Amino acid sequence: MRAPSLLLPCALLFVPLLACGPKGKVSVPEGADKTWAEMNEDERMAHMGAVVLPRMRAVFQAHDPERYASFGCATCHGHSGSFEMPNPELPELDASNFYKQERQEHGDMVKLMWKEVEPTMGEALGVTYSFGGTIECHSCHVVLNEDE
């Protein structure tokens, strides 16, 4: 008689974690001749205007055309002109319990961010995205309780 194997139940516990790692890959983004990390400030600004801004405008305006009718650089980077990220002008997020409060109160926006904004931004910059990637929640937002 064989002892029951714990391998399958243990393996099934870890399958969901595979989806939590970074997605995408580091590459030379469309319209550029070097990676985001290799670009200087002027090249990054040009790429943001030519590639990133039009793509992100399309994503946000498809979600809510009225709210994002005047989508521009300041929508994400704020009005200070510093372009420093994360931007304290954006809503603060609470990461505790896998962003439970955010998912409950702003489910549509969380879905938009995770399913459309992060992947589109990652692809436009040629960087990884999602949890553990270059582009994730705290790339743009001040995030509280990240260690919980």
Q: What is the pLDDT of residues 52-106, one digit of tens each?
A: 999 999 999 999 999 999 999 999 999 988 899 999 999 999 999 889 999 999 9
Where in the sequence is the domain holding 57, given as residue range(s)?
A: 27-144
Q: Would you place residue 123 in the very low, low, confident or very high pLDDT band (cuts 50, 70, 90)? A: very high
Judge whether 76 lies within some domain.
Answer: yes
| Model pLDDT, residue 16 | 45
Please indicate whether residue 113 or residue 19 has the higher confidence score (pLDDT). Answer: 113
Cβ–Cβ under 8 Å, residues 74 and 53: no
Terminus-to-terminus CA distance in the chain, angstroms?
44
User: Can you tell me the mean pLDDT for 103-130?
Assistant: 94
User: Can you tell me the mean pLDDT for 138-143?
Assistant: 94
Domains: count for the chain: 1
Judge whether 131 lies within some domain.
Answer: yes
DSSP string for residues in the chain: -PPPPSHHHHHHHHHHHHTTS-BS---PPTT-SS-GGG--HHHHHHHIIIIIHHHHHHHHHHH-TTTTTT--HHHHH-SSS---SS-TTSPPEE-HHHHHHHHHHSHHHHHHIIIIIHHHHHHHHT--BSTTSSBSHHHHS-EE-TT-
Q: Would you place residue 7 in the very low, low, confident or very high pLDDT band (cuts 50, 70, 90)? A: very low
Judge whether 19 lies within some domain.
Answer: no
Judge whether 7 lies within some domain.
Answer: no
| Model pLDDT, residue 24 | 84
Note the residue count of the chain.
148
Judge whether 15 lies within some domain.
Answer: no
Strand partners, 23: 129
Share of the chain above pLDDT 70, in %: 85
Average pLDDT, the chain: 87
The answer on pLDDT for 31 being more than 80 is yes
Q: What is the CA radius of gyration of the chain?
A: 18
User: Can you tell me the mean pLDDT for 103-110?
Assistant: 93
User: Can you tell me the mean pLDDT for 103-119?
Assistant: 94
Judge whether 134 lies within some domain.
Answer: yes
Judge whether 16 lies within some domain.
Answer: no
Judge whether 13 lies within some domain.
Answer: no
